[in-house]
Structure 1
Amino acid sequence: MSEERIGFRWWAEAEPDRQAIVDGSGRTLTYGELGAEVNRLSHGLREVAGLRRGDTVACVMNNSTRMMALYLAAMQSGLYLVNVNYHLTAEEIGYIVGDCGASAVVCSQRAADEAAAAVGGRVALFVDGEHPSARPWEDLTEGRSAELPAERPAGSLMLYTSGTTGRPKGVKRPLPEADADAGARTYKWLFDEYGMDEACKAWLVSAPLYHSANLTPAAGTLHLGGLLVIMEGWTPELFLATVERYGVTGTHMVPTQFHRLLQLPEEVRKAAATGTLRYVLHGAAPCPRQVKERMFEWLGPVLYEYYGSTEVGTTIARPHEWLAHPGTVGRPASISALKILDPEGREVPPGTEGTVYMRQGSDVMEYHNDPEKTKNSSRDGFLTVGDLGYVDEDGFLYLTGRSSDLIIVGGVNVYPAEIEAALFSHPQVADAGVVGVPDEDLGEVPVAFVETRPGILEGAELRESIAAHCAERLAKVKRPARLHLMEGLPRDPNGKLYKARLSEARVRSAVSAD
């Protein structure tokens, strides 16, 4: 493929009838149609929403062709795009929109009520559908030019990652000085680096696009002229049917999806037409070794694992590397560097556990509006998210633990501090602690231990009240899977909670409403 034919706009001009996207309902969009819509939207963001280079637009959308169009438009308009989980509550959405300083918000119909409540008329809101407090998507596109904008500065994602202080933190990098075409070429790196050169022939989005791990290869597929297949919901049966229908060659998944696929009857799995599926990229959560071994047995050597985060670089474990080093999450990518440091910041030798620090080239990153967190997470240009691990003599990384607070629920990072903050706001909650416990399906789930104060409610009624209180303030993935009412929680003289002592096995010896 020539260097000139990288970037969705080149495909739109050279092969406008080439199929670009097919969504969950079977609707298709050609590259010519996609290019025209992206250009109209780019003009609309400037002329209607008044956005200029360096401004921020927030996206609260479920998987759709229009979500991809908004992403591509922002990336050729010099904008920061903040993708917001559409499952969040109005309070959670409102915090992110305010913290990132969004000048406009675009949402899907399903998220319109929450987005409208979050914005409260303070920021321009556009909806892919109808809502009395929002302007329709068409206001951004109708009557706008379908021609390329005269200037196409590269934009950037501004990603929000869960914060240990109870609020998500924005990860912000300086806007590239390059134009959008140069920006498009950076996405080719993913497929080249992983050795997944044919993955984009038919790439399947089988998880939410608001997660960068799903959005990045999806964008790369369009920049390389491939077919992007978008699922709007996921079941193991639907996944297998979609792979067969479109001859899917590559996708990104999380271990929870592996687990659910492996729960299918053996005859169903044997009958599934998975022969076209040659590249399965996975990460976002630790994958149990036995689960990955079973997936290898079923699909063959097609699993490509990575480790990394919004803040730092990545490691890669290609199929042959993982099979030779079972349990590894790989070695650093070519533009990444890795160090294992002890508590004093000294690098430790191979085989010795320490804190994992990484760096991605000369990348400059900061936590938006939180310079203290930026400072505390870095050492000599290397960053950590608190994970523990070691490297072997060949440089392969093995993770041995995570920052004590982090809970990964089906691939989604959840921090207890945010759940605890919601619990403490209930009038009858005196103390609270949240820990992650193993779950066969989701990997982990949050469980809450709550000390209550006297009040109107008691027992089951009190528990129901606290659960309803959390449901109003937290996305479903963050809500406690179980809630134990306790006489008291174990804290040291300085008030630090002994989370290691919070276990469901000990609840039997405590006063619990279960």
Structure 2
Amino acid sequence: MGDLLSPTYDGPGDLAAIEAIPLTDRGLPGTTYELLVRAAGLWPDRVALSVLPDGEGWEQPAERTHAQLLMDVHRYANVLHTLGVRRTDAVALLAPNCDELVTATLAAQLAGIAAPINSGLSEDHIAELLRRSGARILVAAGPDLAPEVWERARELAADAGIEAVLALSATGAGPVEAELCAIDGIRVGHLSALAAGQPHDAFVGEPPSAADLAALFHTGGTTGLPKLAAHTHANEVSDAWMISVTGMLHDDAVIFAALPLFHVNALLVTVLGPLFRGLHVIWAGPQGYRDHALLSNFWKLVERYRVTTMSAVPTVYSVLAGHPLDADISSLRFAVVGASPLPLAVRDGFEAATGIQLVEGYGLTEATCVSALSFPHHPRRESVGQRLPYQQVKTVKVTDDGEWVDLPAGQVGVLAISGPTVFPGYVSGRSPDGPGLDGLGKLRDGWLDTGDLAWVDPDGFIHLAGRAKDLIIRGGHNIDPAVIENVLLAHPAVTAAQAVGRPDLHAGEVPVAFVTVASEANPTPEELRAWAADHVPEQAAAPKTVTVLDALPVTRVGKHFKPALRAEATREAVADALRDIASVTSVRGAVEDGAVVAVVTLARGADQTPVRETLDRFAITWRLELS
């Protein structure tokens, strides 16, 4: 069985034995700080982090041991404490990945609450997230790391009520010498310089408890602006432990990290999970997987650092499959994929090119991070994995009056999750006691409504069947359709607007929109598309197409029926991909049991192979019929 913190978890049959011991009896650290202290005590001289300056500098990392990481976290947390950060205060972090950002994020969770923000969002979105978080301290990329982010931070600080802006330096930059331009009424300084004089052997404030909030992560929702999902320390520690006991993070694992630290996967899978086993994590530079030099050198990097485990979205694996295998990658045992649906052709292409099996996982911010993971040696095709220990899953039917009816195993319904990783709610306000939280309809008697359609087999493996929620996932990037819809509704000619995801061979999905316009108006689809592109808060949300309809589809009670629009978008994408295959007589999109299905009709006796190969490149459900 292994010890209490390292049980045997090699296959589906181990789950029952693990759960025979209550989680409360396993002796998990109470907080992320206690987890770091444990790692530094057990493995003080092991390298914890090797952070690359960029893809070109993949052989010149900045390195720190677990003991050094703890000392730096103490220093940084003590800076935050001296600036007035206390247990219920948020510290906003606005920067691409760098050596200091890992330290600053852990320090923010020690001194207060970490609130990472995607610097690629619009200024209005960032300002709103700063307001909601209540942050008075902003840790931002300095001018040598990301000058455009630094300027944005300076512009936002005054209006957001920020009292101090602390700059992070580029990885490997050395001692800070350049002075920062002053901001009226706001303290400005390099975080590393301020930390140099702080105690490194202890935190001078009151450390957190398991029930305290550790982080606020923004996530797409059903409103026009991202929501702030709160995580407790217990949420993060329990999910990190569940990740650590899987075969992915074995005792000699070397993990490659490139996802941005404003994403829960980066924090849980590549920071906190490895701390349970004292593992070595190799971090990409500020551009992550968008760094072309990194992708060009990737296989050599795997050989150089003997990387055993990596995590990425499907588009990354599609690109890597096209790069020549110019190195010994025999160390690479696990390549985990998640965040968006995995097309069969991407799986087959990567595995054929590398010999490395892709391992699917499933999770969402509201359940901290990972809730299900596959077993590479016990594949269950078309499943995203078995539920992790101590997380319970079920499917429910939501009735017209909002009641939940539990469904039997094998039946498609809305996926619900319960257990220690389920978040306490979204930030809905602030009081003297800290952020106010509200489940906003996602929580019911300890169960989380994921918004995903799925069926669960008797062994706890989750099989996704579509999305009940409206979120558009473009290359792993969540896009709230309301953002696009609100922009289009601001156009004087538009009377109604709905945005959905259209299947895409490269990005998984891209946003498209459908509108109705006033009878006297005559805007062209291209004019509306350009309007949306000019007004959306981030270019990822700019719709690829805008289609003008006489009326938008509605349910019998008059509500917009997005599945019909997703079906039409799917039909368009599939028809476009198959347009040169003469044997295809028709393509239609259908809504079956709430899920969208592409139905392709072929001439009887035609060769099905090219059609099947094309359809397998999409992450969609499809069916062939003969005419």
TM over 0.5: yes
| Cα offset, 1:69, TM superposition | 0.5
Contact 2:232 2:423 in 1 (8 A): yes
Match for 1:320 among 377, 393, 403? 377
2:98 maps to a residue whose letter is S
Residue number in structure 1 paired with 2:425:
366
TM-aligned CA deviation for residue 213 of structure 1: 0.8
Letter in 2 for 1:490: L
Deviation at 1:251, TM superposition (A): 1.4
Q: Distance in 2 between matches of 1:54 and 1:213?
A: 24
Report the CA distance between 1:104 and its aligned residue: 1.6
CA change 1:208–1:497 in 2 (3 A) is same
The 3 A distance-change label for structure 1 pair 349 and 475 is same
Q: Secondary structure at the match of 2:514?
A: strand
* Residue aligned with 2:135, SS: coil
Distance 1:217 1:335, change over 3 A: same
Larger radius of gyration: 2
3-state SS in 1 of match to 2:439: helix
Q: Given the alignment, which residue of 396, 406, 418 partners 2:483?
A: 418
Partner of 1:217: 269
Structure-1 residue corresponding to 2:447: 382
Task: Give the partner amino acid of 1:20.
Answer: L
| Correspondence list, 1:437-456, <5 A | 437-451=502-516
Partner of 2:201: 147
Cα separation, 2, equivalents of 1:327 and 1:239: 28
Tell me whether 1:40 sits opposite 2:79 in the alignment: no
**Residues 454-495 of structure 1 deviation map (CA, whole Å, 9 limit, x = unaligned):** 99996598457514532xx422322223344x3654255976
Specify every segment of 5 or more residues in structure 2 that has no aligned partner in the other structure, as ranges.
6-28, 170-179, 430-435, 576-627
1:395 partnered with 2:430: no
Tell me the distance in 1 between the aligned counterparts of 2:405 and 2:237: 38
- Following the alignment from structure 2 to structure 1, what is the Cα–Cα distance between the partners of residues 240 and 277? 9
2:266 alignment partner, SS class: helix
- 1:346 matches 2:405: yes
Is 2:258 the counterpart of 1:206? yes
Which of 228, 251, 258 is 2:317 aligned to? Answer: 258
Residue 206 (structure 1) shift: 2.1
Residue in structure 2 matched with residue 190 of structure 1 by the alignment: 243
In structure 1, the residue matched to 2:580 is none
> How far did residue 243 of structure 1 move?
1.6
Letter in 2 for 1:27: P
When normalised by structure 1's length, the TM-score is 0.84
Q: Which amino acid aligns with 2:162?
A: V
Q: 1:393 to 1:418 in 2, by over 3 A?
A: same
Structure 2 match to 1:512:
none
2:25 aligns to what?
none
Percent identity (aligned): 26
Partners of 1:11 and 1:240 lie apart in 2 by 29
1:157 corresponds to which of 206, 212, 215: 215
Deviates more, 1:355-364 or 1:423-432: 423-432
Alpha-carbon distance change, 230 to 453 in structure 1, aligned in 2, over 3 angstroms: farther
Q: How does 1:257-336 map to 2 (within 5 A)?
A: 257-264=316-323, 268-269=324-325, 271-300=326-355, 302-312=357-367, 314-321=371-378, 323=379, 325-336=380-391
Cα 1:273–1:348 shift into 2, 3 Å? same
Query: What is the match of residue 241 of structure 1?
Result: 300
- Counterpart secondary structure, 2:377: helix
Q: Which residue of 2 aligns with 1:511?
A: none
Q: How far 1:301 moved relative to its partner?
A: 5.9
Equivalent of residue 50 in structure 2, options 16, 21, 25? 21
| Structure 1 CA distance for aligned equivalents of residues 344 and 463 of structure 2 | 12
Task: Report deviation, 1:17.
Answer: 7.8
Tell me the CA shift for residue 441 of structure 1.
0.7
Structure 1 residue 381: Cα displacement: 1.8
Quick one: which amino acid aligns to residue 271 of structure 2?
A: A
* Count of equivalent residues: 491
Q: CA deviation at 1:273?
A: 2.7
How far off its partner does 1:76 sit?
Answer: 2.6
Post-superposition shift, 1:215? 1.7
- One-letter amino acid matched to 2:393: L
Query: Structure 1 residues 450, 191: CA separation in 2 closer, same or farther (over 3 Å shift)?
Result: same
Which one of 461, 467, 478 corresponds to residue 541 of structure 2?
A: 478
Deviates further, 39-48 or 229-238: 229-238
Give distance in 2, aligned partners of 1:311 and 1:252. 20
Q: 1:119 aligns with which of 143, 157, 160?
A: 157
Q: 1:377 to 1:20 in 2, by over 3 A?
A: closer
Alignment of 1:456-467 (within 5 A): 462-463=527-528, 466-467=531-532
How far apart, CA to CA, are the structure 2 residues paired with 1:369 and 1:100? Answer: 10
Q: Distance in 2 between matches of 1:320 and 1:351?
A: 23
Q: Which amino acid aligns with 1:319?
A: P
Does structure 2 conserve the Cα–Cα contact (< 8 Å) formed by 1:161 and 1:169? yes
What corresponds to 2:88 in structure 1?
54
2:365 aligned counterpart, secondary structure: coil
* Post-superposition offset of 1:156: 1.2
C-alpha displacement of 1:332: 1.4
In structure 1, give the amino acid aligned to 2:91.
V
* Corresponding residue number in structure 2 for 1:71: 105
- TM-score norm. by structure 2 comes to 0.70
In 2, the alpha carbon distance for the partners of 1:393 and 1:238 equals: 43
- Residue identity matched to 2:420: G
Aligned to 2:259, the other structure's residue is in SS state coil
Q: Contact conserved, 2:93 with 2:139, CA < 8 A, in 1? A: yes
Shift of 1:401: 0.8
CA contact (8 A) 1:336 1:359 kept: yes
Alpha-carbon spacing, 1:145–1:164, altered in 2? closer, same or farther (3 Å)? same
What CA distance in whole angstroms lies between the structure 2 residues aligned with 1:336 and 1:55? 29
- Cα 1:15–1:364, aligned 2, differ >3 Å: closer, same or farther? closer
Contact 1:90-1:117 at 8 Å conserved across structures? no
**Structure 2 counterpart of 1:83:** 116
**Change in 2 beyond 3 A, CA 1:17/1:215:** closer
State which drifts further: 355-364 or 499-508.
499-508
* Distance in 2 (alpha carbons) for counterparts of 1:107 and 1:200: 34
What is the CA-CA distance between 1:198 and the residue it aligns to?
A: 2.9
Distance 1:207 1:350, change over 3 A: same
Paired AA for residue 221 in structure 2? G
- C-alpha spacing 1:460/1:374, structure 2 compared with 1 (3 Å): closer
Q: How well do the aligned residues superpose, as a CA RMSD in angstroms?
A: 3.5
CA distance in 2, matches of 1:359, 1:159: 19
- Relative to structure 1, is the Cα distance of residues 165 and 467 closer, same or farther in structure 2, using a 3 angstrom cutoff? closer
